[in-house]
Structure 1
Amino acid sequence: MSLTDRTRSVLTQAIDVYRGTPYEPRLVAVRERLDAPLRVAIAGRVKAGKSTLLNALVGDRLAPTDAGECTRIVTWYEDGHTYRVMAWPNQGEPRQLRFDREDGAIEVDLGGLGVDDVAQLTVTWPSQALRTVTLIDTPGIGSLSERTAQRSWELLVPDDEETPADAVIYLMRHLHSNDVEFLRAFHDVEVSRPNPVNAIGVLSRADEIGVGRLDALASARRIAARLSGDANVRRLVQSVVPVAGLLAETATTLTEVEVAQLRRIGELPVREAEQLLLSADRFVKAMPELGLTSIEREALLSRFGMFGLRLSAALLRHSATATATDLSRELLDRSGLADLREILGSLFFERRDVLKSRSALLALADMTRSVPRPGSEAVAGAVEEIIASAHPFNELRVLSSVRAGWVTGKPAVVTELEQLIGGAGGAIHQRLRLSPDASAAELGAAANEALVRWQRRAENPLTAHEMAVAARVAVRSCEGMIASLARPR
């Protein structure tokens, strides 16, 4: 029986135990959540670029990026057959709200509701990107408004119930003390609690690190690599990825009109173009002969930023016939969004069943502990048995222990252990550190070699206890890979 089936079975058992109580609908909703898209929250400090990154991931300018009142409310973006915005008030029934789109972003009329009256908004939007993931846009940590900042804490670090998010993308411009405080609160070493295995760090607004220079992303990648290797950061997030969010959002929604306007800059002599793009003020006001109005220039500046303008001009200078599709592809490659999507795929989406089962088991553990009933003890025992015996959870537990520094050894050994148990992705070639096009024979040989190596380490009496326990989990991971490769395809 798969992990998802085992989780669904114990949820059904719990629903029978809590039948006729106010907790029955909650448990039914948790069971239904197993078949729903993965829920990923986007969190971070104020002005970190959360809504901009969300728009880039969706490929549509849905979330407002200004400082309007709706940015102070937790907002869910999910796929659906119709366009709709629902408000979930703190008191009273949900209600549908009127909305329109100005300059792409959705503008919601709260219909007389105050910001503090609304627990959350749900935006339903037909979208290919949202079919596999529901994105949750959260207010900024560290907001001047204490109530606004508290909304993110209540969503992701609730006191008395499970977090509704299966995973978190945490945006940071640098590692601030508030970031550490929040991520530590989100972190717990038990597999049934949130831990760094389901959190990814994003070095947001990466183009600003290099003050908009063309090599800004290279500088950001070096900083992100240094953060990813920092022991304190590794305890909080799986990895840190640099992303120029504004460039990514614009690249996914680029128009031919904007390309035509940018081409005018690219056609300037290099020296004149450099002078024009020295600063935002000069770009808006200098060279009236360029044929772009101040309104058009301000629109380009808000869409691209100085880094995006300089990069686009340079790219168009070397490709005079480039279309919006061509330029969009180039900008996306350079924004870091493709790298983030790849990491999300390997660390979140390939593990979606494990992450969703984990969220469900957390809900059950909390309920049986806080609201005991006749029969709930048996449910709690079944939950504990799944957590203790399911191999994917054992992998997550070891991975957390490695990141927390509890499992130690030679750096090369610890690195191999991390990869074998899925720390860099769940695919077999990722676990074995082989190329994606490695043959089945190459994968099988590498898995068998790893199995022998880690069996010896697990059985060696000189191996430290923590490493020996982790080695036995690695052995089971190797056996799983070998069994998977042996199955007919």
Structure 2
Amino acid sequence: MSALADRTRAVLDRALAVHAGDPAAVAVLQAHRERLDGPLRVALAGTLKAGKSTLLNALVGEQIAPTGTAECTRVVTTYRDAPSARVVVEHRDGTPPEDLPVVHRRGALVIDLGATGVERARALRVDWPSASLRAVNLIDTPGADSTRPGVAGRARAFLGAADDPTAVPGDGADVVLHLVRHLHDADVAFAETVGEQAARGIGPAGTVAVLSRADEIGGGRLDALVTAAQVARRYRAEPGLRRHCRTVVPVAGLLAETARTLRAAEFAAVRDLAAGAREDVEDLLLSADRFLDARLPDAVAPMDRRARRALLDRFGVHGLRLATTLVRRGAGDSASLAAELVRRSGLEELRAVVGTQLVAHGDVFRARAALGAVERVLRTAPPRAGGEELAAAVERVLTGAHEFVEQDALVALHTRGGGSEEARRLLGGDGPDAAARLGVTSDAGPDDVRGLALDALARWRRAGEDPRADRSRTDVARVVVRSLEGILAGRS
């Protein structure tokens, strides 16, 4: 645990002592005290059918979040690692939480609220044994533009919990993956409303935009992800998103989910399709309707409409085109096909961004959320003895933590555009450890690291003192200098 986490924990302990007689304040502070030592809370948010549940399944590598053509997520649902599977519903009326049956159907977890109903449910918690959930809790939120009464408000309330003194203790996220399908009006509106609301507690440094149905952008062509990557670069320069996130990553969510959960029978069906003449298969996969209804090529094993629909639901037209092409090119088993589909889906790039830019800085995001909670308690709770000293302690941590300054500088670089790649890296954009900051492998020797840090320090000191540079560049240079001094202090 970092020194920042230790200082924040001390502030929380002092706050708990000051507000010991206020049950509401204690509940909020204790929730953040527990979160400070727990996994990073990552919320997946966006408009209806942006692919939040599908991407969650892809990140976990199992089908544990309901997906489909209908609106599947109507209750905020937290997925976390645990020794055994368990589904718990929390009620809106404050009655004790209730265990739900753990039901599997065709390899997927089925969540049935039963008599509780969506209206009575406040939140769901899914415990699931998974290495992918040890460092993070993934939180699936309803569509922010849902037309069902009250559903869209649940997502907005959860994301804005950090700025709402009436929110249920423990609600809210440390960071957000904001899923967009295209940069349509609904996506821009989401960024400007919910994004701003969440940013008050999370900040744009803790938000990553995900172009979540990237295969659709390229019209389902085999090179659709290449086109999506170009679009993502343009989106990174879009003011409506730039103000609220640190980067944009393209991912073909359905392709990624299917690749991570590929079944032997599905690989066999794809292999059978690929056995047909290439021209015939390409003609069959011109559209979803054609694949469902057209006659199969003679060389392809019989497949009824129900089986075709199941395959289409799992792969999509783009996924089937890509999978059959890869099989023809030599993907001879389900493992090799799955690995290549994952690589082409963009999932690994997203996992790298989440790992190096969010999880690696988890202490910073959790500390910022916790200190913000203490500030809100001080504003909203009745004055108490020791409150002024507590406020001063919060201010000392906020102003004295270079980690917060670094995150703000990273956001400034992104917002301004055209910033130095070296500055981004030295500020921890690729990870907080010295090797990642200096762009060397983790096994680099101490002398090599120190030499690189000294060279960089000399360059950035000159940049910070350059009278020709504008104020924003000299400000970033000074932050970089302090980061480099920290590296040298840690290595000396």
Scaled by the length of structure 1, the TM-score of the pair is: 0.91
Alignment-derived partner of residue 92 in structure 2: 90
Deviates more, 1:287-296 or 1:373-382: 287-296
Alignment-derived partner of residue 134 in structure 1: 137
Find the partner of 1:160 among 148, 153, 164: 164
Cα deviation, residue 366, structure 1: 0.9
**SS of structure 1 residue aligned to 2:111:** strand
**SS of structure 2 residue aligned to 1:123:** strand
What letter is aligned with 2:284?
L
Cα deviation, residue 25, structure 1: 3.1
Describe the shift of the 1:206–1:461 C-alpha distance in structure 2 as closer, same or farther (beyond 3 A). Answer: closer
Find the partner of 1:51 among 40, 50, 53: 53
Describe the shift of the 1:333–1:150 C-alpha distance in structure 2 as closer, same or farther (beyond 3 A). Answer: same
Describe the shift of the 1:440–1:224 C-alpha distance in structure 2 as closer, same or farther (beyond 3 A). Answer: farther
Query: 1:67 and 1:286 mapped to 2: Cα distance?
Result: 23
Cα deviation, residue 415, structure 1: 4.3
Question: In the alignment, is residue 422 of structure 1 matched against residue 433 of structure 2?
Answer: no
Scaled by the length of structure 2, the TM-score of the pair is: 0.91
Find the partner of 1:397 among 380, 388, 408: 408
**SS of structure 1 residue aligned to 2:73:** helix
Alignment-derived partner of residue 483 in structure 1: 489
| Preserved CA contact (<8 Å) 1:169 1:200 | yes
Alignment-derived partner of residue 282 in structure 1: 290
Find the partner of 2:390 among 371, 375, 379: 379
Query: 2:195 and 2:410 mapped to 1: Cα distance?
Result: 13
Aligned length: 480
What letter is aligned with 2:411?
S
Cα deviation, residue 42, structure 1: 0.3
Deviates more, 1:355-364 or 1:465-474: 465-474
What letter is aligned with 1:134?
N
Describe the shift of the 1:67–1:308 C-alpha distance in structure 2 as closer, same or farther (beyond 3 A). Answer: closer
Per-residue CA deviation, residues 234-272 of structure 1 (Å, 9 max, x unaligned), is 222111111110110000111121111111111111111
Describe the shift of the 1:302–1:21 C-alpha distance in structure 2 as closer, same or farther (beyond 3 A). Answer: same
Question: In the alignment, is residue 73 of structure 1 matched against residue 81 of structure 2?
Answer: no
Query: 2:324 and 2:72 mapped to 1: Cα distance?
Result: 35
**SS of structure 2 residue aligned to 1:260:** helix
Describe the shift of the 1:232–1:453 C-alpha distance in structure 2 as closer, same or farther (beyond 3 A). Answer: farther
**SS of structure 1 residue aligned to 2:276:** coil
| Preserved CA contact (<8 Å) 2:80 2:134 | yes
Query: 1:420 and 1:94 mapped to 2: Cα distance?
Result: 46
Matches within 5 A, 1:143-222: 143-158=146-161, 159-161=163-165, 164-185=172-193, 193-222=201-230
Question: In the alignment, is residue 297 of structure 1 matched against residue 308 of structure 2?
Answer: yes
Unaligned runs of 5+ in 2: none
| Preserved CA contact (<8 Å) 1:189 1:401 | no
Identity of paired residues, percent?
44
Query: 1:217 and 1:294 mapped to 2: Cα distance?
Result: 29
What letter is aligned with 2:17?
D
**SS of structure 1 residue aligned to 2:101:** strand
Query: 1:190 and 1:470 mapped to 2: Cα distance?
Result: 25
Describe the shift of the 1:260–1:385 C-alpha distance in structure 2 as closer, same or farther (beyond 3 A). Answer: same
Alignment-derived partner of residue 359 in structure 1: 369
Cα deviation, residue 338, structure 1: 0.6
Per-residue CA deviation, residues 108-167 of structure 1 (Å, 9 max, x unaligned), is 232322312211111111111111110000011212225211111101123524862010
Per-residue CA deviation, residues 2-23 of structure 1 (Å, 9 max, x unaligned), is 0010011111111111113212
Deviates more, 1:49-58 or 1:194-203: 194-203
Question: In the alignment, is residue 7 of structure 1 matched against residue 15 of structure 2?
Answer: no
| Preserved CA contact (<8 Å) 1:200 1:238 | yes
What letter is aligned with 2:34?
E
Alignment-derived partner of residue 336 in structure 1: 346
Matches within 5 A, 1:228-239: 228-239=236-247
Find the partner of 1:447 among 444, 447, 453: 453
Describe the shift of the 1:435–1:2 C-alpha distance in structure 2 as closer, same or farther (beyond 3 A). Answer: closer
**SS of structure 2 residue aligned to 1:348:** helix
**SS of structure 1 residue aligned to 2:150:** helix
Alignment-derived partner of residue 109 in structure 2: 106
What letter is aligned with 2:127?
T
Query: 2:289 and 2:70 mapped to 1: Cα distance?
Result: 25
Find the partner of 2:269 among 258, 261, 270: 261
Describe the shift of the 1:437–1:5 C-alpha distance in structure 2 as closer, same or farther (beyond 3 A). Answer: closer
What letter is aligned with 1:136?
I
Unaligned runs of 5+ in 1: none
| Preserved CA contact (<8 Å) 1:346 1:427 | no
Find the partner of 1:323 among 329, 333, 342: 333
Alignment-derived partner of residue 317 in structure 2: 306
Query: 1:190 and 1:149 mapped to 2: Cα distance?
Result: 15
The RMSD of aligned alpha carbons is 2.5
Describe the shift of the 1:476–1:128 C-alpha distance in structure 2 as closer, same or farther (beyond 3 A). Answer: same
| Preserved CA contact (<8 Å) 1:85 1:122 | yes
Query: 1:301 and 1:284 mapped to 2: Cα distance?
Result: 8
